[in-house]
Structure 1
């Protein structure tokens, strides 16, 4: 039933998005249409990546889900960069980190915990990801802020470029470590292909590999077109609702841009496939911090307005707090509904704070 609703939203939303952009319909109306259509398209991307995950296994499946989920946000950010909206881009990166670690993981732990008293996942992956989270978010994002105090704008951009290159190289090395040199080394009973205990029955993917890839490609193209038009509505919507660019980036863009992985992670947790769910939530955060953000810094060199990895103090404190809370909760390889509620409570507190800024 839900899939039929999303399908209807796509078949109605995409034509309306095209017609509305050509006829210049009111920006607030089109902002709503664009957001709903992107979320509906994201559901197709989520179903396609879930089909691929069944064939490829939890690690590669989680990576695929995070990659195509972040593709939506990357596309939105590129068009925002082209318009010179660097604050929105930095805010969307912050929102993605907070959304994945607190909202996505929190909902997954909470929904899964309501069905199962205790859910387990690969503790070795959790500890490995903890170190990367500390490096990617706290070290790589805090260092530019600290050093930029005594640097001019050109030096800060040079520092950001250098850090971006290092982050991309380390991210590629991390993928090589997990998927090649140490694949299967840190195995647990709950990390076998197919997910957690209790879900070892063989699943049949909804779509074939070829069909999944085709749907992913078409959905990504549609999202690219709609995202470009969505960016043009930000300023008018912000003025109309009294929202800051910070709030739009951290809450609105992050939720819309990550809709696919949000839904997939919660669904996997409900099916007790916590290895995939955690891989989506934490893996997506790492990809945003170590790949998406650096790529945006390098791409911004082609635009009039360049992007530096210098976040505001509220953004840095929020991201650091989310990372530390997630590490403390996830390092034991077990979770329950109360831990999910704790993460959600932290997200709501930060959301209220950014709304009032």
Structure 2
């Protein structure tokens, strides 16, 4: 999950050649440029020695809880719990729970990135890959435990649709308007690889749906579930291989950039300065995950009541509202990076997140449901599967040339509006199984 901590990254004192070229800094006895005080760069937040981790609990709480303005929404989650016990008004419990989860998801991403600064870029990439969609995974596990299999399927499908169409479209559109360029470029290889993984995920969803709708199962009602579990295990193996491949490539790129100028993203990571200690980051990861788990329980329980109170379909809430609001912080960061002409990071947030949901979170949910005794499968039914297939094909087609512009962004946004409107008028025939 993307965070705003990239804006607070610093250059370490050892990087002095650019300062000397600009005439900044003073010469010491060895005729080297002396680094400027760190406190001048960060508003006095770190008036400590570089590398020190003895920062104290209160300092950590101040950084984690007061730094982000989104934390003002945290009380909404506790208010949702209070309303749930007092009035059982699900029409208010659902939106308040959702608002309470937003800052927790953003801070979870912040803590993950802070821990990654201690483990190194390779292990940090693995941590980000693991925790990036932790919120969706926690919500899915709570829904599985309550037997709401369609909520799991539709919320995960909605996350893929919103990331690939709405988020990527806004990033392309905003980047094209703000950067003053006719086109922006990104790494075509990464985009093509992620598109291929998304198509593989669609293949995993299409086969069980075709068995179901053509009534060609060897064992009616059993073959589809068995195929889903087998395909899920294969998809998890493929995703693990993808992570290994990406980390290996990252390591080789790091070695190739040693002594030379890497890209801006590499410099940002190499010279990033952790704001909290390693053990504080681990503790905050546990705390935020626990909070998200508590709020998710009330959120999932209130979906049906909110649908009745607002007179809108459960499918629309699960597929459109839940992913958009729940990932609002992540979506905003992707657009901001695109507007700074750092489109590769935006694609990592949008397409990378969709790849992780389709190749890890969905099959992992099937395996977890298997262990819980819940018949969670990869049969997302005809309407949802067709929507996903068309979306992946459209996005893969637009990414194939490695460039973006305003019109491509507008196309993706309009496609998402069509999909969202479709789910608003969609009467789910399997709603009784929610």
Q: TM-score, normalised by structure 2?
A: 0.72
- 2:169 aligned to 94, 101, 106, which one? 106
* Cα shift at 1:21: 3.8
- 1:225 aligned to 283, 287, 294, which one? 294
Does residue 293 (structure 1) correspond to residue 357 (structure 2)? The answer is no
- Report if the CA contact (8 A) 2:122-2:250 is conserved: no
Matches within 5 A, 1:321-340: 321-340=390-409
SS in 2 for 1:243: coil
- 2:208 aligned to 144, 148, 155, which one? 144
- Look up the match of 1:264: 333
Matches within 5 A, 1:240-279: 240-279=309-348
Q: Which runs of 5+ in 1 are unaligned?
A: none
- Report if the CA contact (8 A) 1:69-1:257 is conserved: no
- Report if the CA contact (8 A) 1:50-1:264 is conserved: no
Q: Could you report, residue by residue, the CA deviation over 1:282-329 in whole angstroms, capped at 9, with x for unpaired residues? A: 111111111111111111123353111101222112111111111111
- Look up the match of 1:33: 96
Does residue 94 (structure 1) correspond to residue 157 (structure 2)? The answer is yes
- Look up the match of 1:179: 247
Q: For the structure 1 residues 274 and 240, does the alpha-carbon distance in structure 2 shift closer, same or farther, using more than 3 Å as the test?
A: same
Q: TM-score, normalised by structure 1?
A: 0.87
Higher Cα Rg: structure 1 or 2? 2
How many residue pairs get aligned? The number is 352
- Look up the match of 2:186: 121
* Cα shift at 1:81: 1.4
- Look up the match of 2:232: 164
- Report if the CA contact (8 A) 1:111-1:266 is conserved: yes
Q: For the structure 1 residues 37 and 15, does the alpha-carbon distance in structure 2 shift closer, same or farther, using more than 3 Å as the test?
A: same
- 2:308 aligned to 227, 239, 254, which one? 239
* Cα shift at 1:109: 1.6
Q: Which runs of 5+ in 2 are unaligned?
A: 1-65, 427-434
SS in 2 for 1:332: coil
Q: Distance in 1 between matches of 2:334 and 2:237?
A: 27
Q: For the structure 1 residues 342 and 290, does the alpha-carbon distance in structure 2 shift closer, same or farther, using more than 3 Å as the test?
A: same
Higher relative contact order (CA 8 A, sep 6+): 1
CA RMSD of aligned residues (A): 3.1
- Look up the match of 1:133: 198
